[in-house]
Amino acid sequence: MYIAPSLLAANFLRLEEEIRAVEDAGADLLHIDVMDGHFVPNLSFGPCVIEKISSISKLPLDVHLMVENVSNFVDLFIPLKPKFISFHIEADAHPIRLCEYIRSHNIHPAIVLNPHTSLSALKHLMEFVDMVLLMSVNPGFGGQKFLPLVYEKIKELRQMIDEKNAKIFIEVDGGVNGLNASDLELAGADILVAGSYIFSSNDYKSAISSLKLEF
């Protein structure tokens, strides 16, 4: 199980300290939310800020693009060499082409599904993606209420992946906390994104450990 703190909830006035703190607290990836004010009704940070983040981070970057016209933006992020570039299936007309393009730069392509989007959207995409990100809130803001409908989607997706014997990570994003983490993991999630749960706690290490399932 991997934990990806979402920097959206960090204190932007102390970004480097916040990054060091989650590194020391056991984070596995840094989740970076990019918003364009069109696909989602909010703006966050863009490539200039993320370039600075990538220059100091010891953790691999997990870039979550919540933008329209994804192919216009993707070239801005490729030089930053993130581990994953995720984009919404609802935002791009040619996801196979885009996944192949991202892969051709040795970056793992990932598809994001909004809470209402059916898993059937992935049926013909499985061989082109390395991760599927299931949203457990409507994207655009941190600190929202978790939507339990995601449990069923995780289980079904896990089955689809196992049937194809594919190597695809399942990531869950939105409203993840110490209460739902173990159920998400038991349902079949591999990576949990958590913003407000980690950054609003006064002990990042315990917050991150509480998200990792212990038997």
Q: Is there binding between residue 30 and ligand DX5 (CB under 6 A)?
A: no
How many residues touch ligand DX5 under the rule CB under 6 A: the total is 22
Residues written for the chain = 215
Choose which of 7, 32, 34, 64 interacts with Zn ion (CB under 5 A): 64
Q: Name the active-site residue from 33, 62, 92, 130.
A: 33
Please name the residues in contact with 34: beta carbons below 8 A apart, sequence gap of 6 or more: 44, 45, 46, 50, 63, 64, 65, 66, 67, 73, 77
Neighbours of 48 (CB within 10 A): 8
Residue 207 identity: A
Choose which of 113, 174, 188, 192 interacts with ligand DX5 (CB under 6 A): 174
Spatial CA neighbour of 206 closest among 2, 66, 22: 22
63 versus 102: smaller Cβ distance to ligand DX5? 63
Q: Is there binding between residue 173 and Zn ion (CB under 5 A)?
A: yes
Residue 175 identity: G
* Token duo for residue 12: 């932007």
Instruction: Identify what 143 binds: ligand DX5, Zn ion, none; CB under 5 to 8 Å per kind.
Output: ligand DX5
Q: Is there binding between residue 33 and Zn ion (CB under 5 A)?
A: yes
Give the binding site for Zn ion (CB under 5 A): 33, 64, 173
Give the binding site for ligand DX5 (CB under 6 A): 6, 8-9, 31, 33, 64, 137, 139-144, 173-176, 193-197
- The catalytic site residues sit at 33, 173
